Amino acid sequence: MIGELAALGAALCWTFSAVFYKRALTSTKPIPANTVRCLGTSLVLVAVLALAGRIEVLAELPEYAVFLACASGVVGLGLGDTLYMLSLKSLGVSRAVPITCVYPLFNLVWAYLLAGEAITVQVAAGAAVIVAGVWLLSMEKTEKTAETTKERDLKGVFFALFTAITWSISISMINLAVKNADSLEKVYAVNMLRLVAVAVLLTVYSLAAGKGLGSFNVGWKNVMLLLSGGVIAIGLGWLLLTFSFLYTPESQAVPISSTTPLFSTLAGVAFLREKVTAKIGLGSLMVVTGIFIIFTA
C-alpha cells in the first residue's frame, strides 16, 4: 500500500506543477524556463541534503546508480521536460498532460523489444484504447485566435508524444538505479543527482548559446513559479515515484503515477479556466483506462 500511495502522490504533484509551468510559459520560452527550473530546484535539493548532514550518502551509491541517475536526468528532465513545456505552451494543461501520460505504453514496448515479452490480446486492446484516447485529445480544437492554428496543434501533439517516449526511457533508468537501494536517503540522493546532472548541462548550454547570464533572465515572478513547480514535481513528485519502486513493481507504480490526466483536467478548469469538452474528458478517461487494461494483463 505504501508504494501505491507514493505513486499516486507523484501523480498529484505533477498535476499541480503543470499549472505553475503553464503560467510561467505565457511569458518565457521553454528552454530558459527549464534551465531556471532545474538549476533552482537542484540547489534546493543539495541544500536540504547538506543541512541534514548526509552529503556523504553520495559516496555510498554504486557507480552504475550514479551513471543511470545522470543519464535519466539528461533524457527525462533535460530533453523530455523541455518537450513537455513546449507541449504545454501549445496545447494547454488539459490537452497536453493526458497525451504525455501514455508513457507506460512505451515502457511496454521496451519490454517487448528488449526482453521479448509476449503481447496478449488484452494488451493489444489496452493499446487500442490508449490510441483512441490520444486521437480524441489531439483532434479537439481550441478556439481559433491569431496564435492558435492547426499547425501549432499538430506540433503540440508531436511534442507531447515524444515527451512520453523520453519519460519512459528515463523511468526505466531510474528504476534500475534504485533497484538495490536500502534507504530513503539513497533514493533522495539518486533523485538529486539526476537533477544536478541536467542542471549543469542546461546551464552550460545556455551560457554557450551566446546570451550569457541573460539566458536566466525570465523575471522574478516566473522564477518563483518555475521553482515552485520544480520543487513539487522533481523534488517531491519524482522522489515519491522513485520511493514507490522500493515497495511496488514498476508495472504497477508507473500506471498509477500516470493518472495525472484526471487531476490535470480538473486543475486546468479550476486554475487556468481552460474549457474541457466532452472529447477531452472522454479522451482522458480512455487513456487512463487503456493503461490499466495493459498493466492488469
User: What dihedral angle (degrees, nearest 10) is formed by the CA atoms of 228, 42, 21, 157?
Assistant: -150
Rounded CA separation 33/41 (Å): 12
pTM above 0.85, yes or no: no
Rounded to the nearest angstrom, the gap between the alpha carbon of residue 233 and the centroid of all alpha carbons in its chain is 8
* Residue the block writes with cell 517531491: 236
Non-local (6+) Cβ contacts of 47 within 8 A are none
Sign of CA pseudo-dihedral 165, 168, 170, 173: negative
Number of independent structural domains in the chain:
1
* Residue the block writes with cell 514535481: 233
Identify the H or E element spanning 137: helix 121-139
DSSP notation for 150-205: HHHHHHHHHHHHHHHHHHHHHHHHHHHHTTT--SHHHHHHHHHHHHHHHHHHHHHH
The 10s digit of each residue's pLDDT in 209-263 is 766 666 677 889 999 999 999 999 999 999 999 999 888 877 778 777 877 776 7
Instruction: State the chain's mean pLDDT as an integer.
Output: 82
Q: Domain range holding 214? A: 2-295
Mean pLDDT of 124-131: 80
Phi-psi region of 249 (alpha: psi -120 to 50; beta: other; left: phi over 0): beta
Output DSSP code: residue 61: S
Rounded CA separation 270/163 (Å): 25
Q: Which residue has the higher pLDDT, 141 or 201?
A: 201
The confidence band for 118, taking pLDDT boundaries of 50, 70 and 90, is low
